[in-house]
Amino acid sequence: MAEDAQIAGLSFEEALKELERIVSRLESGEAALQEAIDLYERGDQLRRKCAERLDAAQARIEAIRLDSEGRPAATQPFSAG
């Protein structure tokens, strides 16, 4: 459970960087079997955390885009000026 709490405390960027390191280590083929299993399990936890964060961000974006009646909210064109 302490590992779950540690992962929960990571930002999306931190979790993604750690996941990238794990994938690199697994792809290298240098990890012993038990280490590879442990890395895979942690990587799966990190992947789930990243997916949850992305889903939450997408939901927030959709909420911003839709008005209270579910229609696209009126938006102004972006101008860089």
- Summarised one tens digit per residue, pLDDT across range 23-78 is 999 999 999 999 999 999 999 999 999 999 999 999 999 888 876 666 766 655 65
Task: Name the H helices within 1-81.
Answer: 2-8, 12-28, 33-65
Dist CA 76 CA 70 (whole Å): 18
- pTM of the full predicted structure? 0.73
Rounded to whole angstroms, the Cα distance separating 48 from 5 reads 14
In this prediction, residue 50 carries a pLDDT of 96
HSE (side-chain half, CA atoms, 13 Å) at 23? 10
Report the pLDDT value the prediction gives residue 4, as an integer from 0 to 100.
Answer: 80
Q: Which amino acid is at 54?
A: L
Which residue matches tokens 């972006």? 78
Q: Where along the chain do its domains lie?
A: 2-65
- Residue 74: DSSP 8-state: P
pLDDT at 78: 58
- Residue 2: pLDDT above 60? yes
